[in-house]
């Protein structure tokens, strides 16, 4: 979102952000502070709970007042809740004769639910209903688009695939520190992202290599105390260092090998950032990740601790050889540059406004 915003401002657009105020910490606050001066429509933070609940009515009322005052030409909702707000509020503004394009990027969101459960069926029925209030769907991976078609149905509205993009500076190689750890996990501390898989694999891979492995885990989240307890239970407290959120490139400098053990993803930025920074990595073959590496890449695994431990052992046994398995940097830049992303999204905005 930050890279997209910067590219849109550079293209001469007036941009604003409306988002949740209850998540994030000091790191996110610093990022918002850095952006504040460039945003003509400002940054507006208000409580928005992730899941549907009794607080939604008050949250929706507050958010609608903010958006109504801003009177945007384009409302682009990210994630299930942001997508619902953008489309509903854009439709309300149209009633008062405002010309608003309503776009939605699922980013996984409700698509993670099982279509065979009552909850999944409810959310997918809502998605089908909301399509009538949508001018364009923007998918960040072909996996996400296929999942939408399978679980929700063929979109009755224009839709397009626009990959996430990185700024040119992020394609510079990351220089590692002198005293690097073996492994890095960076991301939200929640089971969906697989920190528990990472810790279990760490405990298994060490004995295979005949030495204790060291790891850095960077991130925050409600489940963090549980992962501290898991590390202690496995006797790894001297081998694992937990650090708060930080810029990804700073974290990449802390370890020899990056691990993304997610159980589900859409198109994770952290994978793109690591590869752009020329860092060797292991990732799970979930979501749009195979679209980055190639479906047949030997660096991809299932979200399974035993399989991850085997791949860690293989990679650390000959890291130079493993590094050769990473995707080509110039190809990544051509497909996943922020300039490419911003241009494609701008094209979708203008097409929606024309309609």
The per-residue pLDDT for 108 is: 76
Say whether both 39 and 160 belong to one domain: yes
Q: Sheet containing 136-139: give its strands across.
A: 74-78, 101-105, 136-139, 159-161
Instruction: Show the domain range for 269.
Output: 170-335
Say whether both 233 and 274 belong to one domain: yes
pLDDT averaged per 10 residues, the chain (length 355):
90 95 87 93 89 79 95 94 94 90 89 90 94 96 94 95 93 94 97 97 96 97 96 97 96 98 93 97 96 95 98 97 94 92 96 93
Say whether both 125 and 192 belong to one domain: no
In whole angstroms, what is the distance from residue 269 CA to residue 271 CA? 5
The per-residue pLDDT for 266 is: 85
The per-residue pLDDT for 97 is: 81
Say whether both 46 and 108 belong to one domain: yes
The per-residue pLDDT for 154 is: 95
Say whether both 208 and 279 belong to one domain: yes
Say whether both 228 and 317 belong to one domain: yes
Say whether both 146 and 259 belong to one domain: no
Say whether both 238 and 296 belong to one domain: yes
Say whether both 129 and 200 belong to one domain: no
Domain count, the chain: 2
| CATH number reported for the structural domain that contains residue 303 in this entry | 3.40.50.2000
Nearest to 140, CA basis, from 285, 13, 4: 4
Q: Model pTM? A: 0.84
Say whether both 187 and 287 belong to one domain: yes
Say whether both 196 and 322 belong to one domain: yes
Q: Which residue has the tokens 């979102």?
A: 1
Nearest to 47, CA basis, from 26, 79, 65, 23: 23
The per-residue pLDDT for 148 is: 94
HSE, CB side, 13 Å, CA atoms: give it for residue 137: 27
């Amino acid at each position: 979102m930050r890279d997209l915003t910067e590219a849109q401002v550079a293209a001469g657009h007036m941009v604003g952000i409306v988002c949740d105020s209850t998540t994030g910490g000091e790191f996110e606050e610093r990022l918002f502070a850095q952006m504040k001066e460039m945003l003509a429509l400002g940054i507006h933070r208000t409580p928005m709970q992730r899941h549907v609940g009794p607080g939604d009515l008050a949250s929706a009322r507050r958010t609608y007042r903010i958006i109504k005052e801003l009177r945007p030409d384009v409302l682009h909702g990210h994630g299930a809740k942001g997508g619902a707000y953008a489309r509903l509020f854009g439709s309300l503004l149209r009633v008062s004769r405002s010309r608003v394009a309503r776009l939605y990027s699922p980013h996984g969101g409700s698509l993670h639910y099982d279509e065979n459960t009552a909850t999944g069926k409810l959310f997918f029925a809502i998605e089908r209903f909301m399509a009538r209030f949508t001018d364009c769907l923007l998918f960040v991976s072909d996996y996400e688009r296929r999942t939408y078609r399978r679980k929700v149905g063929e979109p009755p509205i224009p839709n397009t695939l626009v990959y996430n993009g990185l700024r040119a500076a992020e394609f510079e190689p990351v220089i590692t520190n002198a005293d690097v750890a073996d492994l890095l996990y960076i991301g939200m501390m929640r089971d969906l992202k697989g920190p528990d898989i990472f810790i279990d694999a760490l405990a298994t891979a060490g004995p295979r290599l005949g030495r204790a492995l060291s790891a850095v885990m960077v991130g925050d989240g409600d489940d963090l105390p549980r992962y501290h307890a898991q590390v202690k239970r496995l006797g790894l407290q001297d081998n694992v260092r937990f650090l708060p959120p930080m810029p990804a490139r700073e974290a990449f400098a802390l370890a020899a090998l990056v691990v993304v053990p997610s159980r589900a993803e859409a198109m994770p930025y952290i994978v793109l950032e690591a590869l752009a920074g020329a860092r060797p990595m292991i990732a799970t073959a979930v979501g749009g990740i195979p679209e980055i590496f190639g479906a047949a890449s030997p660096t991809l695994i299932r979200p399974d601790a035993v399989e991850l431990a085997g791949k860690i052992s293989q990679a650390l046994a000959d890291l130079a050889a493993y590094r050769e398995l990473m995707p080509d940097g110039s190809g990544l830049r051509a497909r996943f540059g922020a300039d490419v992303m911003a241009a494609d999204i701008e094209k979708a905005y203008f097409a929606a406004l024309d309609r």
